[in-house]
Chains A and B, each alone.
Chain A
């Protein structure tokens, strides 16, 4: 059924592409782009294989890998040896994230056809970023997690800073500063746990930390808050979000597809996996605050999205708003809420990728994303306009698409634990419709404002859009498609939460 080193193969498969690219002359644009796209295919096939094997009932332990890597501290002086292993493992949630990463990477690689310069460097960094993302989701211990986490930062920094729009350097810098601080805090937490407990293996930590005798209550709480800040920067949680708006606006759309689709989700993944996983009781006592932060994120992002004049900024604030749903689901601390949060992670990944791909398509033609300069696109580019509307409807939580399922389950969960707060949050559902329709209709409807003679989407441009829409609709119509694979993960989390 499964074969050894599957996870390692997945994580490092982009290396093959990097190797080939290294020997490709940097002027051969179409060859580089082709290699770039092809290099993401093996990982896609492997992750799909992994997903299918898992769905067909393969044991998770079959995927786990462990090789001794390094040891330190002198065993003669100390009674314990500090060893760091190279260990990979997967569960329902991380398998889902691996598939999502592989899929969005392929689509973002296709979307990179709009990249205009230095394709070789671009794709090498792109594939490096992919390795980092895979590694984050497959890591079996915190040290590896951290290493891969850092690997995602550096290529992203250069991809933003070099291939972005006008204020790209500034955006790249604030990206680096914020995420640098976030990972510094994360590192402190990891080192503390390592020093105190002697292992960084995620599963081991989960069971050890559930023992009340280990670490005092207040230490645990401090560690949890540190983790929330570290991953909160990534998600981002209000008020740590301003770097993310800049990145959304300035980074090349193909990178934003990955950024909004996967990189932000590392924040959610970390919160769920380590925040709740290691400190369930402390998380529970913070649940009200998490839910309140979620509602603030949801409403604050929505109100700001309402008055933006640049479509990319609308989408950026919309991402902040949508990440509020993740927090709302987690704050609900019941199975409906947690499942809703995970669904939102996947769903927003797909929707954000779709919307930014469409941004790339019409920016290519109109060279603007300012709402005031656009209008009447439905006449010149009916197909693009149609996809844009589908993306907006999906994003505002139209039933039949993935966003609704996520929103529905998160709110279902929150209404059980905090009905009043949930009712306030529901205001966000209305606001989302208002700002998305305002933005999308002013682009697609009305009289045409630009005189550019433009052509509608090319066939190659349709591929990512069609695939994304199909997945969004598939999850929306039959959510058990991915929910069934998550049952165990969610059960583990909810049992940790004590019910």
Chain B
């Protein structure tokens, strides 16, 4: 079965091509084409995953480009990690395709929407299948375009335009670092193939400085894509895209690509303690940094966006603490519960036509299905025991502790507390209490939207059981099977970590309940006591403003300098040349003034010069 894995990305590609060409003609049939083809992808992915359980890694390649002596190849590979990713991506993509049928109902550009979804899914699946760094980079950029197109789907909105541009450019900054890292690695190894890179790294043919440098450059690429600090600020803005897109791209799949890349390149990172440390610090810092911003956001999607940034930070922290399995595990569970949360949020927005949580409230009674679904997602992400997020977050905390990062461990615990708090703040403000907006017309979403959410809810609850300290670490054992560089399937940690994690998440929930449901504590109790801190967090630490006054300003100053140079020097040069030539021709025309004496002088002088030249050279220069 695995030899047919290449067909998986082709279904959504076909969907993209068909819909971009015939979409207008087919109109309302577009969603069905998209759904059918991604479903086909999902089925094949599932078969490939099953096949991978029994067979070794499969890899096929062909020549793609010859450069001098080097031959670059293109192909595909099925290993444990990407077999798992294939299923996650195709499943979430299929569910989002289905959900969008209801969510985007009535939009006249629905076929365009589905074609973009197809393009994105194609690129994401292609990324996952890539057997070498160059091919990964190619699809890496293509998912960026898919994301760009979908963020800018409502192209006539200025905010959407700005957000799409920002997403593309900020991720590209990371991509360039990845590009450099990839090329440097190529000149060290002589190949882009993962196998050969890992072989060179373990054989020690690359200097340790070079490994650290390339690993960090590649990590910067991951920082851009996964919205890690300091390249995170595009991700919340990306919420301008339609909500199903946020669920698919900016929660479950594309933003996880950075984590996936670090996981794929793990043997390189593992060879450099400095690189691992960088990953861990950036991850932990992002986790707590984004969580703190999430505490005060008023837009339902932005809270979820900052939560995504924060959770991706957790994954990076895991990888940076040598917790390969923990990172991948959390990537998996997060894909399910975060997609669920976004789809549920979409269902709320679909019902109340606002994203402002101040205008919601009391929706538990109105949205009988969405409410419980959202609650399941909230419980899972908060790390409440027995749901998937609980197990994966626990793995991360254990990995961090065991690796000896005490400070980072503390940061992660605080971030976990904040997560529980802001998620339940969100839940109580949206669903609890009395309605603050007009809720007369609020209707539950149609089945086509709720069914995908139920599937995700099921996974958000039970996906954790593939890797638990109690029933065996099936996922971990399988992922690390036959590859010592990836570490152990399960890291044994002290039992109190689980207790502490449970305690902080319950504490967070309790505090949110006291403030936003019981209202025993005033909402602005804290913010009124620390107004500056509140302002700082509310303004997202002024990161965008900082970029505006540094990077953007610097670029525009440089542009102006260049223009000054262009106007004065370069244009001056052309004026000089023109003036010189005109002057010369004026001189020539002045000679022809009708005076025979002048003509005679010129003719004589010319003849004299010619004679001298002839005499000196013998006629041949």
Q: A303 to B559, Cβ gap below 8 A?
A: yes
Q: A307 to B556, Cβ gap below 8 A?
A: yes
Q: A444 to B180, Cβ gap below 8 A?
A: no
Q: Within the complex, what minimum Cβ distance (angstroms) separates B186 from chain A? A: 7
Q: Is A185 an interface residue (CB 8 A)?
A: no
Q: A242 to B566, Cβ gap below 8 A?
A: yes
Q: B577 to A177, Cβ gap below 8 A?
A: yes
* A339 CB contacts on chain B under 8 angstroms: 67-68
Q: A441 to B165, Cβ gap below 8 A?
A: yes
* A interface residues, how many (CB within 8 angstroms): 61
In the complex, what distance in Å separates the CA atom of A13 from the CA atom of B165? 47
In the complex, what distance in Å separates the CA atom of A378 from the CA atom of B141? 23
Q: Which of A242, A334, A419, A490 has a CB less than 8 Å from the CB of B570? A: A242
Q: A480 to B64, Cβ gap below 8 A?
A: yes
Q: A478 to B578, Cβ gap below 8 A?
A: no
In the complex, what distance in Å separates the CA atom of A376 from the CA atom of B157? 10
Mark A372-400 against chain B: 1 for CB-CB distance below 8 A, else 0.
00001011000000000000010000111
Q: Within the complex, what minimum Cβ distance (angstroms) separates B154 from chain A? A: 9
- Residue of chain B at shortest CB distance from A491: B68
B:127-183 near A, CB below 8 Å: 137-139, 141-142, 145, 152, 155-156, 158, 160-161, 164-165, 168-169, 172-173, 176, 179-180, 183
Tell whether A400 pairs with B138 under 8 Å between CB atoms, given A306-B555, A411-B179.
yes
Interface of A is mostly: helix
In the complex, what distance in Å separates the CA atom of A429 from the CA atom of B562? 18
Q: A444 to B559, Cβ gap below 8 A?
A: no
Q: A437 to B165, Cβ gap below 8 A?
A: yes
In the complex, what distance in Å separates the CA atom of A448 from the CA atom of B562? 31
* A398 CB contacts on chain B under 8 angstroms: 141-142, 145
Q: Within the complex, what minimum Cβ distance (angstroms) separates B75 from chain A? A: 13
Q: A400 to B142, Cβ gap below 8 A?
A: yes
Tell whether A335 pairs with B179 under 8 Å between CB atoms, given A181-B577, A239-B570, A303-B559.
no
In the complex, what distance in Å separates the CA atom of A423 from the CA atom of B217? 12
Q: Is B471 an interface residue (CB 8 A)?
A: no
Mark B523-566 against chain A: 1 for CB-CB distance below 8 A, else 0.
00000000000000000000000000000000110111111001
Q: Is B495 an interface residue (CB 8 A)?
A: no
Mark B40-71 against chain A: 1 for CB-CB distance below 8 A, else 0.
00000000000000000000000111111110
Q: Is A483 an interface residue (CB 8 A)?
A: yes
- Residue of chain B at shortest CB distance from A484: B66
A:318-352 near B, CB below 8 Å: 334-336, 339
Q: What are 27 sample pairs from A and B whose C-beta atoms fall under 8 A apart?
A: A177-B577, A177-B581, A181-B577, A239-B569, A242-B571, A242-B573, A304-B563, A307-B556, A336-B67, A398-B141, A399-B138, A400-B141, A408-B179, A409-B67, A411-B179, A415-B180, A415-B184, A426-B176, A427-B176, A429-B176, A430-B169, A431-B555, A445-B161, A479-B64, A483-B65, A483-B67, A494-B68
Q: Is A225 an interface residue (CB 8 A)?
A: no
Q: A441 to B161, Cβ gap below 8 A?
A: yes
Tell whether A433 pairs with B560 under 8 Å between CB atoms, given A335-B68, A405-B65, A445-B161.
no
Q: Is B620 an interface residue (CB 8 A)?
A: yes
Which A residues fall within an 8 A CB radius of B? 78, 173-174, 177-178, 181, 195, 239, 241-243, 300, 303-304, 306-307, 334-336, 339, 376, 378-379, 393, 398-400, 404-405, 408-409, 411-412, 415-416, 419, 422-423, 426-427, 429-431, 433-434, 437-438, 441, 444-448, 478-480, 483-484, 487, 490, 494
Given contacts A177-B574, A422-B183, A427-B176, 8 further A-B contacts (CB under 8 A): A177-B578, A177-B581, A303-B562, A399-B138, A404-B141, A415-B180, A433-B172, A446-B155
Tell whether A433 pairs with B169 under 8 Å between CB atoms, given A242-B574, A307-B556.
yes
In the complex, what distance in Å separates the CA atom of A11 from the CA atom of B558? 46
B:289-321 near A, CB below 8 Å: none
Which B residues fall within an 8 A CB radius of A? 63-70, 137-139, 141-142, 145, 152, 155-156, 158, 160-161, 164-165, 168-169, 172-173, 176, 179-180, 183-184, 186-187, 555-556, 558-563, 566, 569-571, 573-574, 577-578, 581, 620-621
Q: B577 to A429, Cβ gap below 8 A?
A: no
Q: Within the complex, what minimum Cβ distance (angstroms) separates A239 from chain B? A: 5
In the complex, what distance in Å separates the CA atom of A416 from the CA atom of B187? 7
In the complex, what distance in Å separates the CA atom of A404 from the CA atom of B562? 26
Tell whether A480 pairs with B165 under 8 Å between CB atoms, given A306-B559, A416-B187.
no
- Residue of chain A at shortest CB distance from B571: A242
In the complex, what distance in Å separates the CA atom of A408 from the CA atom of B137? 11
Tell whether A336 pairs with B68 under 8 Å between CB atoms, given A177-B581, A426-B179.
yes
In the complex, what distance in Å separates the CA atom of A208 from the CA atom of B183? 38
In the complex, what distance in Å separates the CA atom of A195 from the CA atom of B617? 14
- Residue of chain A at shortest CB distance from B152: A445
In the complex, what distance in Å separates the CA atom of A32 from the CA atom of B184? 55
In the complex, what distance in Å separates the CA atom of A232 from the CA atom of B155? 41
In the complex, what distance in Å separates the CA atom of A398 from the CA atom of B180? 16
Interface of B is mostly: helix
Q: Within the complex, what minimum Cβ distance (angstroms) separates B157 from chain A? A: 8
Q: Which of A303, A334, A405, A434 has a CB less than 8 Å from the CB of B68? A: A334
Q: Which 6 A-B pairs have the closest CB atoms?
A: A335-B68, A399-B138, A445-B161, A303-B562, A445-B155, A307-B559
In the complex, what distance in Å separates the CA atom of A443 from the CA atom of B184? 38
Q: A304 to B566, Cβ gap below 8 A?
A: yes
* A408 CB contacts on chain B under 8 angstroms: 179
* B187 CB contacts on chain A under 8 angstroms: 415-416
In the complex, what distance in Å separates the CA atom of A433 from the CA atom of B145? 12
- Residue of chain A at shortest CB distance from B558: A303
In the complex, what distance in Å separates the CA atom of A300 from the CA atom of B559? 8
In the complex, what distance in Å separates the CA atom of A378 from the CA atom of B65? 36
Q: B570 to A241, Cβ gap below 8 A?
A: yes
Q: A412 to B183, Cβ gap below 8 A?
A: yes
In the complex, what distance in Å separates the CA atom of A242 from the CA atom of B145? 33
* B63 CB contacts on chain A under 8 angstroms: 480
Q: Within the complex, what minimum Cβ distance (angstroms) separates A289 from chain B? A: 19
* B558 CB contacts on chain A under 8 angstroms: 303
Tell whether A487 pairs with B66 under 8 Å between CB atoms, given A307-B560, A378-B155, A415-B183.
yes
Q: Within the complex, what minimum Cβ distance (angstroms) separates A366 from chain B? A: 17
- Residue of chain A at shortest CB distance from B144: A398
* A441 CB contacts on chain B under 8 angstroms: 152, 161, 164-165
Q: A446 to B573, Cβ gap below 8 A?
A: no
* A239 CB contacts on chain B under 8 angstroms: 569-570, 573
In the complex, what distance in Å separates the CA atom of A349 from the CA atom of B488? 53
In the complex, what distance in Å separates the CA atom of A304 from the CA atom of B581? 28
Q: B156 to A446, Cβ gap below 8 A?
A: yes
Tell whether A399 pairs with B158 under 8 Å between CB atoms, given A429-B179, A430-B172, A433-B169.
no
Q: Within the complex, what minimum Cβ distance (angstroms) separates B72 from chain A? A: 9
Q: Within the complex, what minimum Cβ distance (angstroms) separates A380 from chain B? A: 11
In the complex, what distance in Å separates the CA atom of A70 from the CA atom of B158? 67
In the complex, what distance in Å separates the CA atom of A304 from the CA atom of B558? 9
Q: B169 to A437, Cβ gap below 8 A?
A: yes
* B156 CB contacts on chain A under 8 angstroms: 376, 378-379, 445-448
* A483 CB contacts on chain B under 8 angstroms: 65-67
* A177 CB contacts on chain B under 8 angstroms: 574, 577-578, 581
Q: Within the complex, what minimum Cβ distance (angstroms) separates A147 from chain B? A: 22
Q: Within the complex, what minimum Cβ distance (angstroms) separates A211 from chain B? A: 22
* A412 CB contacts on chain B under 8 angstroms: 67, 183, 186
Q: Within the complex, what minimum Cβ distance (angstroms) separates B206 from chain A? A: 15
* B69 CB contacts on chain A under 8 angstroms: 335
Tell whether A478 pairs with B569 under 8 Å between CB atoms, given A303-B558, A426-B176, A434-B555.
no
* B168 CB contacts on chain A under 8 angstroms: 433, 437
* A447 CB contacts on chain B under 8 angstroms: 156, 158
Q: Within the complex, what minimum Cβ distance (angstroms) separates B412 from chain A? A: 32
In the complex, what distance in Å separates the CA atom of A339 from the CA atom of B70? 12
Tell whether A446 pairs with B158 under 8 Å between CB atoms, given A307-B560, A399-B141, A480-B64.
yes
In the complex, what distance in Å separates the CA atom of A483 from the CA atom of B573? 39
Q: Within the complex, what minimum Cβ distance (angstroms) separates A42 from chain B? A: 32
**Highest count of chain B CB atoms <10 Å: which of A195, A303, A393:** A303
